[in-house]
Amino acid sequence: MGAGHTQLLYHCSDSPVHRLPPEVKIAAMVAFTLAVVATPREALWAFGGYAVLVALVAAVARVRPGWLLRRSLIELPFVLFAFALPFLGAGERTELLGLSVSVDGLYGAWNVLAKGTLGVLASLLLAATTSTRDLIVGLDRLRCPQLLTQIAAFMLRYLEVLVGEVRRMRVARLSRGDDPRFVWQLRGFATGVGALFLRAYERGERVYLAMLSRGYTGRMPQVWQGTAAATAGQWLLASTVPAVAAGVAATALVLT
């Protein structure tokens, strides 16, 4: 995964957030999300506080709001589910815009919307400021079992192989007179999926053998450890965000 490889969502840039070691960012993101999820849903103000925190981090990381909003559309299915909840929910009902809705369902919808959106934004910020390679280094440093980081590293590496094979097979089909219109293309893809897998495997196998012959032992190569392990100061700096979030969550728990 050297230079030139596409990154999933990485936003190549330089900012204080980009410079933080990956393990610190992963830990901070997970802690922040847990604090958000632990917040009682009735504490509406707390979620406003979290949103401000996310906006601050985004500003420091120089991630554009438009990009964040566009990428957070992944949540759309949950949003649709959330809108169904007030109508499906049982128990006490109330009137809203002339419709009879469940109070519990209304809170549930808010719960799903607020916590889901904040979680998505937090992970997008992590993705935008951490390259996929650093992500694996970070997981490795967080004592994730080597077997898992190995599978994850191969997965990211082979995504490239897979995408490349899809492109080559498409070109091959086109050059043999295949009609590339949408539905036709889908059919060609469906019948070729087995061949695609096999081709990608055999290319991947060669990649793996090449790695072995260059001394791969299953460990992360030294060059990957570009950024040094996190210092106490960096842990402290990154822990400010989850610490504030935890404070907000604790206050909300006490107040409600």
Partner 1 sequence: MENLAMHISNGIINGPVAAIFAVIALAAMALCVQRGRQHLDDRLAPMAGLVAAFIFAVQMINFPIFTAGISGHLLGGALAALLVGPWVGALCVAVVLTVQALVFGDGGVAMLGLNITNLAIIGTAAAYLLIVALLRVLPRTPAGLAVTAFVSALVSVVAAALGFVLQYQLGGAVDLGDNIAGLAGTIAVTHLLIGIGEGLITAMTVLTVAKARPDLVYALRARGPVAPTPIPAVGGAR
Tell which positions 149-178 bind partner 1, by CB under 8 A. 150-159, 161-163
Q: Restricting to residues 170-229, which ones interact with partner 1 according to CB under 8 A?
A: 190-191, 193-195, 197-202, 204-205, 207-208, 212, 218
Cross-strand partners of 93? 102
Q: Which stretch binds partner 1 (CB under 8 A): 51-59, 113-121, 177-185, 228-236?
A: 113-121
Q: Is position 1 an interface residue for partner 1 (rule: CB under 8 A)?
A: no
Considering only residues 53, 54, 101, 127, which one is a binding residue for partner 1 as defined by CB under 8 A? 127
Pick 186 or 255: Cβ nearer partner 1: 186
Residue type, 231: T
In angstroms, rounded to a whole number, what is the distance separating the alpha carbons of residues 135 and 127? 8
Q: Which stretch binds partner 1 (CB under 8 A): 54-62, 108-116, 221-229, 238-246?
A: 108-116
| DSSP-assigned letters across all residues of 133-166 | HHHHHHHHHTT--HHHHHHHHHHHHHHHHHHHHH
Q: Is position 118 an interface residue for partner 1 (rule: CB under 8 A)?
A: yes
Pick 232 or 255: Cβ nearer partner 1: 255
In angstroms, rounded to a whole number, what is the distance separating the alpha carbons of residues 2 and 180? 32
Rounded-to-5 percentages of helix, strand, coil across the chain: 75, 5, 25
Residues 72 and 54: beta-carbon distance below 8 Å: no
Q: Restricting to residues 64-93, which ones interact with partner 1 according to CB under 8 A?
A: 72, 74-75, 77-78, 80-81, 84-85, 88-91
Residues 242 and 118: beta-carbon distance below 8 Å: no
Q: Is position 108 an interface residue for partner 1 (rule: CB under 8 A)?
A: yes
